[in-house]
Amino acid sequence: MDIERFIQTAKEAAVLGGYILKENFKTIKREDVEYKDKKDFVTFVDKLSEDRIRNFILSVHPEHSFLGEEEGVSGNKNSEYQWIVDPLDGTKNYINGFEIFAVSVALQKNNEIIAGAIYIPMLDKLYWAGKGKGAYLNGIRIKVSDRPVDMAIIATGFPFRYEEEIDVYLKAFREAMITFSAVRRPGAAAVDLAMTAEGVFDGFFEMKLSKWDIAAGVLLIEEAGGVFTNFHGSKELDGNVVAGGKKIHKILFDIVQRTLI
């Protein structure tokens, strides 16, 4: 298994998608926006980014499977290797001209994420990680933070697609606000996870995400010396995430247990 080769593919794919996002930023017209569901949008840019990424990855690894947010599964569906891609995480930010959005590319072997990259185009920040290889930002190794709790900033995301969960979520949000120095909501889970791995944020929690939102990010967290679990304490990618350094993760996990379980 050539982890370094897989990391390189992930990096190149993420940057390739990021170039598409940069080229088309602030060109989206109202008629370019489609509704996938209530408060859930897609544009031709999401689709173009995914097409370019898929074509590139399957040209390099034709024996692999590919899972993209927009078009689902393609490639060799029987492969033990599957690429998991969000071609534009933060579509609403992108549509509105807010520069915080990202491309997320991860490779899963069976049920284990072994390589991944996240690219934030407008900040030109390329994060990558490989299983057992560490986590990096633009070539420099990164680590999760070790700030005291009263200085810690937590990132989160609101369950905007699930109005029935808002009251429950707000209990956790309130506890986090009281416990930590501040809470931030940038609007793209891949960005939140990458910046938690970098130590900009000290922890992150969110509910009801998709696999492509978090696959690369959770590997970054672990390879940066942090901890990732779902709300039940396992590493299953079920869409519910608690992540951060060991100390912050434990406190956040306790908050989740008291409020969201």
CB neighbour list of residue 115: distance below 8 Å, 6 or more residues apart = 3, 6, 7, 9, 10, 106, 107, 128, 129, 130, 131, 219
Q: Is 213 annotated as a binding residue?
A: yes
**Type of residue at 18:** G
Tokens 């200085």 belong to residue: 151
| CA separation for the pair 84, 188 (Å, rounded) | 16
Other Cβ atoms less than 10 A from the Cβ of 148: the count is 10
| CA separation for the pair 199, 167 (Å, rounded) | 29
Q: Is 40 annotated as a binding residue?
A: no
Q: Is 12 annotated as a binding residue?
A: no
Nearest one of 114, 117, 115 to 126, comparing CA atoms:
117
- Binding site per annotation, positions: 69, 86, 88-89, 213
Annotated binding site for Mg(2+): 69, 86, 88-89, 213
